[in-house]
Amino acid sequence: MDELRRHILKSGGGAALALLLGAGLLRPTRVLAANWNAPAFESKDVAGALRGLGAGAAQAQASADLKLDAPEIAENGAVVPLEIVSKIPNTSAIAVLIEKNPQPLAGHFEFSGPLLPQVSLRVKMAETSMVRVLALAGGKYYSSSKEIKVTAGGCGG
Amino acid sequence: MADPMKIRARLAGDVADLRVLMAHPMETGQRKDARSGQPIPPHFIQKFSIALNGTHVLEAQTGMAVSRNPVFGFKLAGIKAGDKFTITWTDNHGETRSDETVVA
């Protein structure tokens, strides 16, 4: 048994591993390796998107320290400016969900180093909807919501 | 190859205001061609990252709800003139584009 194992390690296994390492296939990339989170982004409802992110809705705690700055009425649903600022200590990620969009999850941002936990972006909104932002801080999820009224949708055509 | 990004880094004290405009159609896959009535296939940026002097500070994933020609704004503390930002995006077709700017 041991001899077999040694043999495999010595010949095939070791060589293959070295080859993979050499080709950069097994390089321990810390962050870049993450693939697009299709289950979360392609989910058609908020619950599914939250599941995909690993954030069950029940765990998220409403927080006044997580601010979503956005217009109350968006005349053009194709371009709705949002600004999200988290004052929650140790915020490491922010997610943006537009509850009534065909696919609610719009973006997920992971911060590190000198990047402050805030982001501004422009999104498309199909119709008037609650916009929910989530912040991950110290392993806990916090949320904040705001309704944005849309007078002309941004997804049809 | 997609058009270059427009990146602007403005320094106020040691806090940098970083804004990036990516030239991309961000097609949702929900629209139909007006003439043919055929659905227009989705084509949107799925991931982008920001590196500061070669170290990643942001990993972002985006869905098709991000507006056409996306604009993102970020703030970073402890930045000085000469620091370099590198921004790289990848879309659902596997196309990628990387641009950089040096803080003036």
- Same domain? A26 vs A51: no
- Same domain? A29 vs A42: no
Taking any CB pair shorter than 8 Å as contact, residues of chain B touching chain A are: 15, 26, 28, 30-32, 34, 46-47, 49-50, 52, 55-68, 70-79, 92
Residue B54 has pLDDT above 50, yes or no: yes
Residue B53 has pLDDT above 50, yes or no: yes
Sign of the CA dihedral running A13, A18, A21, A23? negative
- Same domain? A49 vs A100: yes
Q: CA A153, B2, B4, B9: dihedral to nearest 10 degrees?
A: 50
Q: CA B25, A127, A121, A109: dihedral to nearest 10 degrees?
A: -100
A:66-105 residues touching chain B, CB 8 A cutoff: 78-80, 83, 98, 101-105
For residue B79, give the 3-state DSSP assignment. coil
pLDDT by residue (tens digit) across B62-100? 999 999 999 999 999 999 999 999 999 999 999 999 999
- Same domain? A52 vs A3: no
CATH number for A139: 2.60.40.2470
- % of chain A with per-residue pLDDT over 90: 68
CATH T-level fold of B6-102: Immunoglobulin-like (2.60.40)
- Same domain? A2 vs A43: no
User: Smallest CA–CA separation between B2 and chain A, in Å?
Assistant: 20
pLDDT by residue (tens digit) across A115-142? 999 999 999 999 999 999 999 999 899 9
- Same domain? A80 vs A96: yes
Distances (CA, A) of B99 to A59, A110, B43, B48, B102: 38, 20, 20, 11, 11
User: Smallest CA–CA separation between A20 and chain B, in Å?
Assistant: 23
Contact between residue A60 and residue A87 where contact means Cβ atoms under 8 Å apart? no
User: Smallest CA–CA separation between A59 and chain B, in Å?
Assistant: 22
User: Smallest CA–CA separation between B49 and chain A, in Å?
Assistant: 8
Contacts A109 to B, Cβ<8 Å: 58-60
Whole-complex ipTM: 0.95
- Same domain? A105 vs A135: yes
- Same domain? A128 vs A94: yes
What is the model's pLDDT at position A154? 60
Are B57 and A113 a contacting pair at CB < 8 A?
Answer: yes
Give, rounded to a whole angstrom, the gap between the first and last alpha carbons of chain A.
66
Residue A83 has pLDDT above 90, yes or no: yes
Domain membership of residue A78 as a residue range: 38-150
Are B75 and A34 a contacting pair at CB < 8 A?
Answer: no
- The conformational region for residue B20 under phi > 0 = left, psi -120 to 50 = alpha, else beta, is beta
- Give how many domains chain A has, as a whole number: 2
Q: Please name the residue of chain B whose CA is at the shortest distance from the CA of residue A110.
A: B59
- Same domain? A67 vs A135: yes
